[in-house]
Amino acid sequence: MQDNPDLKKNSENGGDKSGNNKKILMGILAFALISTFFMNFFMSAFSGGNMAEIEYSDFISLVEKDAVNAVEFESDRLIVYADASKTEIPKEISKIYNNGEVIFYTGIVGDLELVGTLKEHNVKFSRKVKNSSPVFDFFMSWIMPILFLYIAFSLIMHFAVKKLGGGGGIMGVGKSNAKVYMQKETGVTFKDVAGQGEAKESLQEIIDFLHNPDKYIKIGAKQPKGALLVGPPGTGKTLLAKAVAGEANVTFMSLSGSDFVEMFVGVGASRVRDLFKQASENAPCIIFIDEIDAIGKKRDGSANSNDEREQTLNQLLSEMDGFDSSKAIVILAATNRPDVLDKALLRPGRFDRRIIVEKPDLIGREDILKVHSKDVILGDDVDLKAIALATSGAAGADLANMVNEAALRAVRMGREKVLQEDLMEAVEVIIAGKEKKDRILSSKEKRIVAFHEVGHALASALQKNSQPVQKITIVPRTMGALGYTMQMPEEEKYLMTKDEIISEIVVLLAGRAAEEIVFDTVTTGASNDIERATKMGRSMVSQYGMSEKFDMMALESTENKYLDGRNVAICGENTVAALDEEVLKIIRECHQKAVSILKENRKALDEIAEYLYEKETITGEQFMDILKKVNGDEISQ
């Protein structure tokens, strides 16, 4: 006999809700119990008003002095009404009561002669009679407050949580926060998105389906329910989603994954239901969920898992299975962490397509620069291709920022057009920060930095597989650099050979080598160079298979490659130690090669460094002119 899947799903959902209701009820009961305890505690603590306790012997002494007016017998103590004028009032008493009396209390000690003593001194006495029983007192002190608080809190939770299933609740806490954009509000089309030709081609079919669903239905094709946009930050995933809505001329519903996550369990699931309900009412439309990894992480079932996030994810999976694709509803989502998403979310029938939105290539960067500079007045000398070459690895957001920085610089310089130098300076600002004019180096430090940077430049110029030098400067920058050597690639490259990586490591280590040769010492200025060189050498051995010792064995894998790209070892501890030794061997060999190159060209090192020391900044052309002048037409390799 087969199980009814719908019945099974309903029973599971019912079980979840039942479990949540039990948790809520237990929480209300605990709150009521704790509140009642503290209420009784404070009532008992302050029920005595300003009364002070006195010793029984002191009480008898007051009676014998005729200072006591009346005594009231209680079950566990005596209340004493004394004449304030005949009594020393303790510091604890801050108030004299009516008729000039002050009130004390003392314990009962079973004195059989007490009544006779009171009569002898004309003291009025009586016994306070309680009409209630201990059971009644317990009921009024504990049961009634607990019931009252339980009912009050239940009513609050009833309106704040129970009604969330209908998409409502106090202040609309269960409603979706989706911001609805019409095409006239987004104003974005594929013309505004450059450098992502493959992504646009993948999304074009979805747009065509939204425009002409009949031709797809006629042949039996089904519209993809969802598409996942994956790529590094700043590559234009959100912009692409808006462009799809603009091209299709349909409603665009946008919200972030974090909008679903709330304190109350069940709120996120309610918002998912409300979102899809709104989408059905506004079909055809596009639902865009940005940063979907906030709710779509893998469910590991551990005790530390987030019940609210998992219920929200379960509801999203259910809604994506349940809605009819013929209604022309498309779900787009964006993330830069696809490796943490739940597999159930990525299977066909939910997010049918994974669209990679990578950082743009050379042509893409040039197109992006054209898009972002169309409203900027450019000078005749502007060469966007040169800027694109200098910004390898930059995302669309980085390029937009560079164009804006260049425009701001042109205004600061009093110009009405943006020149090539503004764009190049903007590139340097993004890479190294602004010039730090208030940091003045001493003559000795300035000379060390000059030789350090020329060491980089010479190692780059004197090797076959290095990139040409564009600029050398020893002007400090706000991101910590005391100087830097800027290299400009001659063409876009997607692969690096082993020789090219070795040459790059030699260039990085040549700054420290110059310090050793000229000053016979080392400084802290090479810290970033050493870090980058070590990372490249480690990648050669652990990932690229460029080591004779380990051949083509993978020793590390990359996690979060669209974010920090952290490497994680996938080998044993002994192998990791051997890996470190192999990396050290590469670093030492490259270091020795850098020292050898600079010693052979010591005259060029000295002359160019002295020139840089005087000028502070020189171009790549000036650098090459001095080098050719010193070495002649034949540059030592």
Domains contained in the chain, number:
5
- Its pTM stands at 0.65
- Give me the active site residues, please: 453
The one-letter amino acid at 616: E
Site of tokens 């259910």: 318
Strand 469-473 with 484-487, pairing: antiparallel
Closest CA to 241 of 200, 273, 281, 275: 200
Q: Are residues 382 and 278 in the same domain?
A: no
pLDDT at 294: 84
Name the 3-class secondary structure at 466: coil
Count of C-beta atoms within a 10 Å radius of residue 188: 21
Asked whether residue 171 is assigned to any structural domain, the reply reads no
What domain range is 143 assigned to?
A: 5-45+134-160
* 3 state SS for 532-597: HHHHHHHHHHHCCCCECCCECCCCEEEECCCCCCEEEECCCHHHHHHHHHHHHHHHHHHHHHHHHH
Which CATH number is 88's domain given?
A: 3.30.720.210
What count of Cα atoms within 13 Å lies in the side-chain half-sphere of residue 543? 14
Instruction: For residue 371, give the CATH number of its domain.
Output: 1.10.8.60
Residue 438 lies in a domain: no
Q: Establish if 169 belongs to a structural domain.
A: no
Position 154 scores a pLDDT of: 65
Tokens matching residue 101: 């009396």
Asked if 486 and 625 sit in the same domain, the reply is yes
Q: Give me the helices (H) in 226-349, please.
A: 237-248, 267-281, 307-322, 343-346
Q: In terms of domains, do 339 and 212 share one?
A: yes
Strand partners for 125 = 71
- Beta strands (DSSP E) in 77-196 are 77-83, 101-107, 124-127, 179-181
| Strand duo 566-569 + 617-619: pairing | unpaired
**Contact of 211 with 204, CB cutoff 8 Å:** no
Looking at 442-497, list the stretches that DSSP marks H as alpha helix, in order from N- to C-terminal side: 443-461
CB 261 within 8 A of CB 296: no
CA atoms within 13 A on the CB side of 111: 17
In a domain, 414, yes or no: yes
**332-346 per-position pLDDT tens digit:** 899 988 888 888 888
Domain boundary among 387, 404, 430: 430
Same domain, 223 and 269: yes
| 257 is a domain residue | yes
Give the per-residue pLDDT at 112.
80
Compute and round to an integer the Cα radius of gyration of the chain: 40
> Three-class SS of residue 131?
coil
Long-range contacts at 438-446 (CB < 8 A, ≥ 24 apart): 439/476, 441/474, 441/476, 441/482, 445/482, 446/474, 446/613
Q: Note whether 303 and 222 are same-domain residues.
A: yes
Q: Which pLDDT value is given to residue 78?
A: 85
Q: What is the pLDDT of residue 14?
A: 42
User: Are 189 and 269 in the same domain?
Assistant: yes
Return the residue matching tokens 């809700």: 17
| 520/5 Cα distance (integer angstroms) | 78
CATH number, domain containing residue 310? 3.40.50.300
pLDDT for 390: 84
Contact 142, 36 (CB under 8 A): yes
Residues 468 and 495 in one domain: yes
How much is the pLDDT for 33? 67
507 and 579 share a domain?
yes
Is residue 464 included in any domain, yes or no? yes
pLDDT confidence of residue 378:
92
State whether 121 and 139 are in the same domain: no
Q: What is the pLDDT of residue 165?
A: 41
pLDDT < 70 stretches in the chain: 1-33, 35-51, 88-99, 128-142, 146, 149-150, 152-186, 262-266, 300-307, 323-327, 437-439, 478-480, 564, 633-637
Residue 105 pairs in a beta bridge with: 53, 79
Domain with residue 596: its CATH number is 1.20.58.760
Shared domain for 474 and 523, answered yes or no, is yes
- 497 and 581 belong to one structural domain: yes
Which 3 state secondary structure label does DSSP give 469? strand
Question: Helix 362-372 to helix 396-412 angle, to the nearest 10 degrees?
Answer: 50
> Could you tell me if 534 and 455 lie in one domain?
yes
The answer to whether residue 385 sits within a structural domain is: yes
Is 172 within a domain?
A: no
pLDDT digits (tens, 9 = 90+) for 409-461: 999 999 999 999 999 888 888 777 777 766 678 889 999 999 999 999 999 99
